């Protein structure tokens, strides 16, 4: 299974992003089959939710596509090993999968001295909250992405305003280099220098955070 997820999209969610009763019923059937040892059913669940775990849980917290892909593979293995521990919840299987992925990400952060936006203590709080509060998949993804964005904005606010603006334009707003340069009223070459210095300043700020 890859981080790219299924090639065929699943059924669209109910209006408002919440899963319909029919979707939950289908998911529960898959979970029951997986509990009975049906690896194909478990694989279908992982293909459905793997991309969401990757983009909303692992990548923002680990800060590297390679690290997130490795963590997703470990998450898949742990889900296969421990799926008998899962008990059905009214919002489906995703909250349980998310906690498994968070624990894998936490292990990575503890074992590697990496400059990341999130610290192990942040993930510990999220794991505790995730075990107490079960959200549906869409709400969980929105929460995780918003949390990551707020954390990045908080860090950028500690930098020189010009560096923060450069990172916001290029990374958060995903503008082209030419658009960023125009916004800062500099040449593209000068913007590249500013962005390089901004990234270096951000790394220094991350290194100052308590481990």
- Please say if the pLDDT value at position 87 is more than 90: yes
Question: Which position has the token pair 């500099």?
Answer: 186
Residue 37 CB burial class (10 angstroms; 0-12, 13-18, ≥19) = exposed
Q: How confident is the model at residue 4 (pLDDT cuts 50, 70, 90)?
A: very low
- How big is the CA angle at 32 (ends 28 and 33), to the nearest 5 degrees? 115
**Average of per-residue pLDDT across 191-202:** 88
Listed residue (25, 66, 30) closest to 49, CA to CA: 30
Contact 88/180 with Cβ under 8 angstroms?
Answer: no
At 118 the pLDDT is: 66
**Average of per-residue pLDDT across 81-107:** 93
Listed residue (27, 44, 43) closest to 137, CA to CA: 27
User: Phi/psi class of residue 16: alpha, beta or left (left: φ > 0; alpha: ψ in -120 to 50)?
Assistant: left
Q: What percent of the chain has pLDDT over 70?
A: 85
């Amino acid at each position: 299974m890859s981080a790219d997820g299924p090639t065929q999209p699943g059924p669209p969610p109910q209006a408002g992003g919440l899963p319909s009763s029919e979707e939950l019923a289908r998911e529960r059937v898959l979970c029951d089959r997986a509990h009975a040892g049906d690896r194909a059913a478990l694989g279908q669940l992982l293909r459905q939710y793997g991309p969401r775990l990757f983009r909303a849980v692992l990548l923002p917290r680990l800060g590297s596509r390679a690290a997130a892909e490795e963590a997703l593979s470990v998450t898949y293995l742990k889900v296969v090993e421990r799926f008998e521990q899962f008990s059905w919840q009214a919002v489906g299987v995703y909250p349980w999968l998310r906690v498994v992925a968070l624990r894998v990400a936490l292990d990575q952060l503890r074992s590697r001295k990496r400059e990341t936006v999130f610290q192990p203590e942040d993930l510990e709080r999220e794991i505790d909250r995730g075990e107490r509060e079960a959200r549906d998949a869409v709400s969980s993804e929105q929460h995780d992405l918003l949390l990551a964005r707020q954390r990045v904005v908080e860090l950028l606010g500690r930098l020189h305003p010009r560096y923060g603006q450069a990172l916001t334009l290029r990374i958060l707003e995903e503008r082209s280099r030419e658009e960023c340069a125009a916004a800062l009223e500099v040449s593209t070459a000068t913007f590249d220098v500013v962005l390089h210095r901004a990234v270096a300043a951000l790394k220094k700020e991350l290194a100052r955070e308590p481990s």
